[in-house]
A and B are shown apart, each in its own frame.
Chain A
């Protein structure tokens, strides 16, 4: 028989549509079944866990809310009313200003509130849509805001240098908001908008520069007029305390430690032996000594090394110690992040003609910092809590203030309630930081995962 040479027509492949998943694996019931009741031991553990949670929460809620006393002249009255079964909140309420502001004079605490408000306002444009100058605004918040606020908190006589710095800082604050508003409404920064309207759409460079300088001069003079009217009484740092002091120390520590840590980490990877040696020595020294020891050393030994008559503020000593300590830790975190960036990224940047600083700041650090967000924020949270150690050298942070409540004759022995209260405050701040870090990770990670 002759073989048949006509080829069979090709089979046509049609992919079948995807079917929905089995119903027992979706929805609330599916989730419950898969995660809580997947087996008999798992179901028992779930029920046991729920019971323990219930007992625990019930006890806390009935102590802190249901049985609690809210109004009483002293601790005796609380104990007479509910004994130890309920919290005695009036003591905490009476001490609330001190827990938050320390011994800062009562008629001056508005300065702290104002400082905090300015910080919030300064940072707000960073979260607004359509604001383009976010990098510049963020940088000024870190580099310029401190001048304004440190005068606000410290007060006292101001020399003309101080005046100029504070006025410049305030002028920058005006610039931040004018820029934010004009960028949101017109898509153009405030100064470029002024140049555009006053000097025409395509101005000669000299004219544009003149408008720019005049705009800044006007902002500065306005700020100077405002600042020169301020008469703030001096509040020495030994009166600072409470949550305020905690925020000051950890805020400075956090803003200093990140850039310093980045520089130390880069230095540690440098090919120049002197720089590398210094960075390694610094990092290893500060990492191998407890913070408490460093605080002690700075507090008691620093004055011995300084020339007679040079007095360094106690708070400043603590801040310097915290900053250096935090920078050393941050450096190691950053180094870890830098190591995770493949060598090919450096090579590609170099092959395109970028120098060391350009490839580091534009290619390597943005990627490394993104990977490091969880570790960095973890470090920030640790630092925030570590500031409680400054009570050792006689600064009244929130923890020492909480302890002081129970030593007040009216509230003698009232320790649990203030500690419970500041625990809540610490929790709120740390939880917020942690949530923000996750949010940041999600937003920045967009489009980069496979």
Chain B
């Protein structure tokens, strides 16, 4: 069996006395596309943020391509670089142009010459279909455009895994589609993706597996057809009846 891209083994996480993740076990294969859903406060963000260690878990193991976090800051940084992340609130750097947002980690973290960084950044901006906005500042763009820039920015670092935490939740309805289209295209290139979202159309179209979480636990997981057609748990059914 090949090493999974992401492996969570008995991962628990507490905020003070409150347990946000309860012994999560989850294994995601390379090139697999997983959609994570569940009610608000169920621990979806906490879990996905543990995958790149924006939040530290307190018990259990998280392995990325077979390498576990926790072996020193330098190793952790290197492991983290295998992942790219897209946030609900975009989190673009407002003091840099779109292009600088994309190039700056290449020049500072990867020490790449400016010209090459620019070339890579432009190729990813073309991929998300906004090369013409490269010299604008993020706040001059619409929400949908900003989120696409955020995707391009993450892709510039050439991650093998992309993490999305509710990428369309902060968008007006007419912009959701442009972002989802970009994500569908990305999925078609074979990128390993973990997407927290309530866009069930997206889940049906691209997901290999849907994971349902509640109260810090993975309740059930199944391929989308099965997940939507006959969920096994009452909790899942209730959730689906509320959002569909």
Contacts and interface: CB of A to CB of B under 8 A. Distances in A.
B91 A354 contact: no
A347 B49 CA distance: 10
A366 B77 contact: no
B136 interface: yes
A353 B80 contact: yes
Interface in A351-367: 351-355, 358, 362-363, 366-367
Contacts of B140: 447
Contact of A353 (B87, B91, B105): B105
B52 A351 contact: yes
Given A448-B137, A450-B139, A362 B108 contact: yes
B157 A348 contact: no
Given A344-B87, A348-B91, A358 B108 contact: yes
Interface string A363-375: 1001100100000
Interface centre among B52, B136, B150 (most CB of A within 10 A): B52
A366 B100 CA distance: 14
A345 B139 contact: no
Contact of B54 (A345, A347, A355): A347
B121 to A, nearest CB: 13
B153 interface: yes
Contact of A354 (B87, B89, B108): B108
Contact of A352 (B89, B105, B139): B105
A200 B205 CA distance: 57
A350 B54 contact: yes
B81 interface: yes
A16 interface: no
Given A344-B89, A351-B80, A448-B139, A358 B109 contact: yes
B136 to A, nearest CB: 7
A367 B77 contact: no
B91 to A, nearest CB: 4
User: How many B residues are at the interface, by size bracket?
Assistant: 20 to 34
Interface in B135-153: 136-137, 139-140, 150, 153
B94 A367 contact: yes
Interface in B69-97: 77, 80-81, 83-85, 87, 89, 91-95, 97
Contacts of A348: 85, 87, 91-93, 150
A367 B95 CA distance: 7
Interface in A24-61: none
Contacts of A363: 93
Contacts of B54: 347, 350-351
B154 interface: yes
A442 interface: no
A217 to B, nearest CB: 28
B227 interface: no
B139 A354 contact: no
B212 interface: no
A450 B140 CA distance: 6
B85 A447 contact: no
Contact of B104 (A345, A362, A448): A362
Interface in A402-450: 447-450
A340 B91 CA distance: 14
Contact of B139 (A366, A367, A370, A449): A449
Contacts of B150: 348
Contacts of B81: 353
A145 B188 CA distance: 58
Contacts of B154: 351-352
Interface centre among B52, B85, B93, B137 (most CB of A within 10 A): B93
B201 to A, nearest CB: 27
Contacts of B91: 342, 344-345, 347-348
Contacts of A351: 52, 54, 80, 83-85, 154
A61 to B, nearest CB: 46
A348 B93 CA distance: 9
Nearest to A366: B95
B62 to A, nearest CB: 15
Interface centre among B77, B91, B97 (most CB of A within 10 A): B91
28 contacts: A344-B89, A345-B93, A347-B54, A347-B85, A347-B87, A347-B91, A348-B85, A348-B91, A349-B93, A350-B54, A350-B80, A351-B52, A351-B83, A351-B84, A351-B85, A352-B84, A352-B154, A353-B77, A353-B80, A353-B105, A354-B105, A358-B108, A362-B108, A370-B95, A447-B136, A448-B94, A448-B137, A448-B139
Interface of A: 342, 344-345, 347-355, 358, 362-363, 366-367, 370, 447-450
Given A342-B91, A447-B97, 7 more contacts: A344-B91, A348-B85, A351-B52, A351-B83, A351-B84, A358-B109, A448-B137
3 smallest CB-CB distances across A and B, nearest first, come from: A348-B91, A447-B137, A344-B91
